[in-house]
């Protein structure tokens, strides 16, 4: 009785028992006598795991898989084939010994040997059945979890595969699901690569103007010949002195650097510097800025009339909206738009119209104008000598821009500047994971009428601003062409020509090296390792500080020029040019307008976490017909299966640790 009770409860040791049927020579005799004592089984050992045998003792005793309780179903000759194949060797030896004893002639075996043999059989069947029981429990539990998941999830492919398991539709669904898994994995890998590369993406669309209209661009009017001949003559300045002033304070990059390294060049510079200071003392000019203003055209000299839509004003009122700015082309006048500078109807004469006066006997390039000294300034860099109009953004630093681009206005001409607008949104350039990138600058916090370091640190003005700021850090002196952004420039000491050229050329050389270009290689006539190191360090620092504008208006334009009709020119000129200070002036008409009420909206951004989730969700729906909820379900099923496997491994380890302490079953005959 105790043998079967221990078998049912997975007890691993039995001390002894004294009541056994005797004599017994066959195994069926034992099975017919032992069940009568099952009414009072002793308790199981408390230290054994309860999961070892899930069946109660009486079910285990009569279970069909138990060869001991069903000898008719499992004869001795075939009992070996009813167990696992991996246990054939062990049980074969046991059953072969049993068969040999049963075939002995009329000689009853020793009771101790038969009883011990019964114990061996029970121990073997106990271990085999315990393993089968654990395996059956594990398989049924894992299968229940997986089938439950397949019944609830929206992951259709694996569900079809399980429902048709073992059939050709099941194999077909297996191939399809596997192929789609590969496609999903490939596309997800690409999405992760795009996300973590932090590349910049663009998205463009077309917008239509509302009732307010489109904002007109800023524009700058400059004299590319720098000065007025009549005003130069009134000051009594020589051509060489004017050339020296251009190279000294307006645009040092025009200077022929070869002359600076010769003794004759040194004498020339010294002589012209003396003449320049004499002119300033004679006319009571306290600084270079006031001298350049006196030598240049005023706004009233150039602008005769302006019109915004159908509303027209005279030149004096127009010049109240044009702000004088210092640039590398001399004194210019910038129209910085305000809240009313919009065009709400498309058409050439619905925008902004300028009537300009072009003094033909006074602009540089004519024979009357004193020639530029070719020894100090290369004449090939001053080929443009007419009045120029440059279209720009209202947050653009104009000092260097006007030298690089613009449309020349010629006499008796109609200049139609057709503008197209692109509204650029860069607020998505920095996301939550781009912690090292600077924040974008809001346009409403920047004042174009009072340029500051913050305005020069925007991406639009990044390079120009870096050159200007590094020049002042290196040289600690003043030049007119870079003074637009500094309120106290008049209090700064004026740079000498040698120092100006030295700082400018070192800056250009280092910028060329940083760009891997040889544009300005060996450009400086004054190689200076200290200045070069300072320039490279300063440029690198300032360029890294540049910030994007959150919202930016960017303009592109085309200029078409046509001759003005003689009749129209004579009629308009008689009314507008009669009061000008220049006797031989020509009329020019300039229109800045939108030909269409459509504009382009451009969004520049980096992928945010929401973009990644939406892209992954789209791929999951396309390839597997599931969503992010299915992914969470799949994650949970992995957790459940992992927990199940860990619990199973823990039970196996616990059971094996106890099996090492199993006490062999020995049966003693009664006396």
In a domain? residue 366: yes
Query: How would residue 80 be classed by pLDDT, with cut points 50, 70 and 90?
Result: very low
Same structural domain, 87 and 214? no
124, containing H or E segment: helix 111-152
Confidence tier at 186 by pLDDT (50, 70, 90): very high
One domain, residues 327 and 407? yes
pLDDT of 386 reads 81
pLDDT band, residue 37 (cuts 50/70/90): very low
3-state secondary structure of 560: strand
220 and 313 both lie in a single domain: yes
Residues 251 and 365 in one domain: yes
Q: Provide the residue range defining the domain that includes 115.
A: 2-135
Domain boundary among 85, 106, 135: 135
Asked if residue 260 and residue 116 are part of one domain, the reply reads: no
CA 78 to chain centre: 73
What pLDDT, on a 0 to 100 scale, did the predictor assign at position 62?
45
The reply to whether 354 and 242 lie within a common domain is yes
Confidence category of residue 132, pLDDT binned at 50, 70, 90:
low
Give me the long-range contacts of 136-143 (CB less than 8 A, separation at least 24). 137/51, 137/54, 138/644, 138/648, 141/644, 142/641, 142/644
pLDDT reported for residue 128? 56
Residues 101 and 248 in one domain: no
217 with 128, same domain: the answer is no
The CA distance from 546 to 458, in Å, is 5
Span 514-527, mean pLDDT? 60
**Is the domain of 97 the same as that of 221?**
no
Rounded Cα distance between 242 and 376, Å, is 11
Confidence category of residue 405, pLDDT binned at 50, 70, 90 = confident
Considering only 141-150, 198-207, 534-543, which range has the smallest mean pLDDT? 141-150
Query: Which pLDDT value is given to residue 166?
Result: 78
Residue 390 pairs in a beta bridge with: 220
Tell me if 562 sits within 8 A of 411, measured CB to CB.
Answer: no
Which of 118, 135, 152 terminates a domain? The answer is 135
pTM for the model: 0.66
The reply to whether 641 falls in a domain is no
Is residue 199 included in any domain, yes or no?
Answer: no
Q: Is residue 316 domain-shared with residue 403, that is, in the same domain?
A: yes
In tens, the pLDDT along 578-632 reads 555 545 567 888 999 998 888 899 999 888 888 888 888 888 888 878 777 777 8
Rounded mean pLDDT of the chain? 72
pLDDT(48) > 90: no
Q: How far apart are CA 668 and CA 2, in angstroms?
A: 13
Examine the pLDDT at 51 and tell me if it is beyond 50. no
Output the CA angle 545-548-551, nearest 5 degrees: 155
Instruction: Compare 31 and 107 and report the one with higher pLDDT.
Output: 107
Claim to verify: residue 264 and residue 120 sit in the same structural domain? no
Q: How many domains does the structure of the chain reveal?
A: 2
The verdict on residue 524 lying in a domain is no
Of the listed ranges 166-175, 183-192, 230-239, 565-574, the least confidently predicted one is 565-574
One domain, residues 126 and 213: no
pLDDT band at 532 (very low <50, low <70, confident <90, very high): confident
Q: Does a structural domain hold residue 154?
A: no
Whether 21 shows a pLDDT value over 70: the answer reads: no
Alpha-carbon distance values, 72 to 78, 83, 215 (Å): 11, 16, 102
For residue range 313-363, list pLDDT tens digits in order.
888 888 888 888 888 888 899 988 777 788 888 888 888 988 888 876 665
CATH code where residue 293 lies: 2.60.470.10
Tell me the average pLDDT across 190-216: 86
Looking at the domain assignment, is residue 657 inside a domain?
no
Residue 434 lies in a domain: yes
Query: What integer pLDDT is reported at residue 638 of this predicted model?
Result: 81
590: in domain: yes
**Edge-to-edge order in the sheet of strand 218-223:** 322-327, 330-335, 218-223, 387-392, 407-409
**Final residue belonging to a domain, choices 135, 167, 197:** 135
């Amino acid at each position: 009785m105790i043998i079967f009770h221990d078998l049912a409860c997975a007890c691993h040791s039995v001390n002894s028992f004294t009541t056994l049927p005797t004599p017994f020579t066959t195994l069926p005799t034992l099975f017919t006598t032992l069940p009568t004592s099952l009414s009072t089984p002793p308790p199981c050992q408390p230290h054994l795991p309860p999961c070892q045998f899930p069946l109660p003792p009486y079910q285990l005793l009569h279970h069909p898989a138990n060869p001991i309780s069903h000898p008719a179903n499992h004869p001795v000759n075939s009992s070996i084939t009813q167990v696992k194949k991996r246990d054939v060797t062990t049980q074969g030896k046991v059953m072969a010994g049993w068969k040999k004893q049963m075939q002995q002639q009329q000689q009853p075996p020793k009771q101790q040997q038969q009883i011990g043999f019964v114990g061996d059989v029970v121990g073997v069947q106990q271990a085999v059945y315990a393993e089968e029981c654990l395996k059956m429990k594990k398989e049924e539990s894992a299968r229940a979890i997986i089938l439950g998941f397949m019944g609830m999830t929206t992951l259709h492919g694996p569900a079809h595969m399980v429902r048709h398991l073992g059939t050709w539709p099941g194999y077909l669904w297996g191939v399809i699901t596997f192929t789609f898994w590969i496609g999903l994995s490939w596309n997800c890998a690409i999405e992760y690569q795009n996300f973590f590369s932090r590349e910049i993406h663009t998205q463009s669309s077309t917008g239509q103007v509302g009732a307010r209209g489109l904002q007109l661009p800023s524009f700058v009017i400059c004299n590319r010949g720098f000065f007025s001949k009549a005003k130069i003559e009134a000051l009594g300045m020589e051509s060489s002195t004017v050339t020296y002033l251009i190279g000294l304070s307006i645009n040092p990059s025009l200077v022929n650097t070869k002359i600076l390294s010769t003794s004759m060049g040194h004498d020339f510079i010294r002589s012209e510097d003396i003449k320049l200071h004499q002119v300033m003392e004679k006319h009571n000019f306290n600084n270079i800025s006031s001298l350049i203003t006196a030598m240049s055209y005023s706004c009233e000299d150039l602008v005769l009339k302006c019109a915004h839509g159908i509303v027209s004003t005279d030149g004096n009122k127009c010049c109240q909206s044009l702000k004088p700015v210092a640039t590398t082309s001399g004194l210019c006048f910038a129209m910085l738009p305000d809240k009313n500078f919009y065009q709400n109807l498309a058409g050439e004469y619905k925008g902004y119209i300028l009537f300009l006066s072009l003094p033909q006997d006074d602009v540089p390039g004519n024979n009357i104008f004193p020639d530029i000294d070719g020894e100090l300034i290369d004449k090939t860099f001053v080929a443009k000598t007419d009045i120029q109009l440059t279209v720009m953004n209202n947050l653009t630093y104009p000092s260097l821009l006007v030298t690089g681009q613009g449309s020349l206005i010629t006499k008796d001409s109609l200049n139609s500047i057709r503008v197209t607008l692109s509204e650029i949104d860069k607020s998505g350039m920095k996301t939550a994971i781009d912690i090292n990138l600077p924040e974008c600058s809001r346009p409403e916090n920047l004042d174009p009428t009072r340029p500051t370091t913050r305005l020069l640190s925007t991406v639009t003005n990044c390079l120009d601003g870096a050159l200007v700021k590094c020049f002042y850090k290196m040289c600690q002196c003043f030049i007119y062409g870079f003074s637009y952004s500094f309120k106290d420039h008049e209090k700064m000491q004026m740079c000498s020509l040698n120092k100006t050229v030295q700082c400018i050329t070192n800056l250009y050389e280092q910028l060329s090296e940083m760009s891997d270009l040889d544009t300005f290689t060996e450009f400086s006539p004054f190689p200076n390792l200290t200045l070069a190191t300072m320039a490279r360090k300063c440029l690198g620092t300032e360029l890294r500080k540049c910030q994007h504008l959150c919202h930016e208006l960017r303009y592109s334009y085309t200029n078409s020029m046509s001759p003005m009709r003689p009749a129209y020119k004579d009629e308009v000129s008689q009314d507008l040019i009669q009061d000008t200070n220049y006797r031989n002036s020509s009329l020019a008409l300039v229109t800045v307008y939108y030909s269409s009420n459509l504009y382009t909206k451009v969004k520049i951004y980096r992928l945010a976490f929401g973009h990644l989730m939406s892209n992954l969700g789209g791929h999951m729906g396309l390839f597997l017909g599931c969503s992010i909820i299915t992914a969470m379900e799949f994650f949970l099923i992995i957790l459940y299966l992992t927990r199940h496997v860990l619990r199973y491994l823990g039970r196996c380890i616990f059971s094996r640790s106890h099996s090492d302490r199993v006490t062999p079953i020995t049966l003693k005959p009664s006396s």
